[in-house]
Amino acid sequence: MKLKFFPCKYNEFSEANKNMTPEIKIKYINEDSIRIDGVLYEFNSEDIEYPHQIHTITNGVITEAHRDGGILHLTIVRHYLDDYTSWFTGEYIDFVEGGINDN
């Protein structure tokens, strides 16, 4: 599985951010499943169902999902308070059991 982050400025007073925090908890479940902030997202192992509606289906948590060579690629919204340059690369990173693999 590969992840890419979509940085979004966190505003605690925004109605859109009322159920969110600037901290994100991501857990690898398996090559087709991921848990983000306690919510399980499962994907078909062959293809992505409704790829153009993924933002709506996930309530804005995942902005894009596709498979490339059978590998699931997800773009996930990650809120920040001050600066995001320490973690935002604009590239996909490997996400495997145990956490992010930067290799």
DSSP state string for 36-52: ETTEEEE--SS--SSGG
Q: pLDDT tens string for the chain (103 positions)?
A: 999 999 888 877 766 656 666 678 899 999 999 999 889 999 988 888 777 899 899 988 999 999 999 999 999 988 888 888 888 889 999 998 766 554 3
Cα distance between residue 62 and residue 13, in whole Å: 22
Return left, alpha or beta for 20; rule: phi > 0 is left, psi -120 to 50 is alpha, else beta: beta
| Number of C-beta neighbours around residue 101 at 10 A | 11
Domain locations in the chain as residue ranges = 2-101
Spatial contact of 6 and 77, defined as CB atoms under 8 Å apart: yes
